[in-house]
Amino acid sequence: MTVVVLLGAPGAGKGTQAEILRKRLNIPHVATGDLFRAAVGEGSAIGLEARRYMEHGQLVPDEITIRMVLERLSRPDAAGGAILDGFPRTAAQARALDEALAGQGARVEHALLIDVPTEDLVARLSGRWICRASGHVYHAIANPPAVPGVCDLDGSELHQRDDDRAETIRARMEGQLGALADVVEHYRAQGLLRSVDGCYSISVVAEALLVQLGQAAEREA
Ligand code: ADP
Ligand code: ADP
């Protein structure tokens, strides 16, 4: 079982890189933000609860988040592991994940931090466009679609997320970066943390992440 945790501030490039790693490692990409947005879209009880926090840029409470992720990880396609994007986001979530994996004789194998200075994150989030059909991610300048407003991969319309508005971006930075530091520390203490400079292009960052995964695999061999 290969469990890879991708860490980074909002806008660091976790979702973008998780899609690249998913194809290379052949394990599913599990993004809590995507799971919550799907629940909001369905109007389920989790969605209604989560939306109250998401629209203010706050973290959804641990109990709901942990339950949702563990349910997702129990599905058959995640039997060989998963790339976790946006989870864990608090130290309590990290501990809950450790305990759940230990119960299956497994553990987080790699914790990869995509490191991007806070001042660059605002430009990334305010230029982010995602597609309606599957949440494929673009950037107005750094990664534009071939045809403006249309997803290259499935032809659906591109839109900006409600929480990528300036005031919610600010709230997310203020409310979430402290907890990210706690999670980084959790994995540093376990000797699992690897950090990659996220300021380079998407493909250069992807290569750096794959190098970290390869080096870790060599050390274990
Ligand atoms: P980003 O890609 O900008 O980092 P996400 O799509 O991962 O944002 O998450 C969107 C929102 O969903 C977060 O601002 C938060 O409200 C909620 N969320 C996502 N993951 C978690 C989590 N692990 N714990 C609590 N809240 C979460
Ligand atoms: P996260 O999941 O961490 O919130 P995303 O993968 O959604 O981040 O990326 C945030 C925005 O930044 C998107 O518009 C994406 O296209 C863009 N982006 C991702 N990686 C890079 C990069 N290395 N350089 C420039 N822009 C990037």
Task: Select from 59, 177, 180 the residue to mutate for testing ligand 1; criterion: most ligand atoms less than 8 Å from CB.
Answer: 59
Q: Is pLDDT above 70 for 216? A: no
Provide mean pLDDT across the span 54-65.
Answer: 96
| C-alpha–C-alpha distance, residues 41 and 105, integer Å | 35
The total number of residues shown for the chain amounts to 221
Provide mean pLDDT across the span 105-115.
Answer: 97
| C-alpha–C-alpha distance, residues 90 and 111, integer Å | 14
The predicted pLDDT at position 70 comes to 97
> Ligand 2 pocket by C-beta < 6 Å: which residues?
8, 10-16, 124, 127-128, 137-139, 142-143, 198, 201-202, 205
Provide mean pLDDT across the span 21-33.
Answer: 95
148 versus 219: the higher-pLDDT residue is: 148
The predicted pLDDT at position 28 comes to 97
Residue 29: pLDDT band with limits 50, 70, 90? very high
Domain ranges of the chain: 2-116+190-220
Which residue CA neighbors atom 4 of ligand 1 most closely? 10
* Pair of tokens at residue 59: 């973290």
The predicted pLDDT at position 215 comes to 72
Residue 217: pLDDT band with limits 50, 70, 90? low
| C-alpha–C-alpha distance, residues 36 and 41, integer Å | 9
Q: Which CATH class is domain 2-116+190-220?
A: alpha beta
| Residue 14 DSSP SS3 | helix
The predicted pLDDT at position 220 comes to 61
| pTM value surpassing 0.85 | yes
Report the interhelical angle of 14-25 vs 202-220 (nearest 10°). Answer: 50
Provide mean pLDDT across the span 88-94.
Answer: 98
Dihedral over Cα of 75, 77, 79, 85: its sign: negative
Provide mean pLDDT across the span 190-216.
Answer: 94
What are the pLDDT digits (tens) for 138-194? 999 999 999 999 999 999 999 999 999 999 999 999 999 999 999 999 999 999 999
| C-alpha–C-alpha distance, residues 204 and 26, integer Å | 20
Task: Select from 34, 35, 36 the residue to mutate for testing ligand 1; criterion: most ligand atoms less than 8 Å from CB.
Answer: 36
The predicted pLDDT at position 126 comes to 95
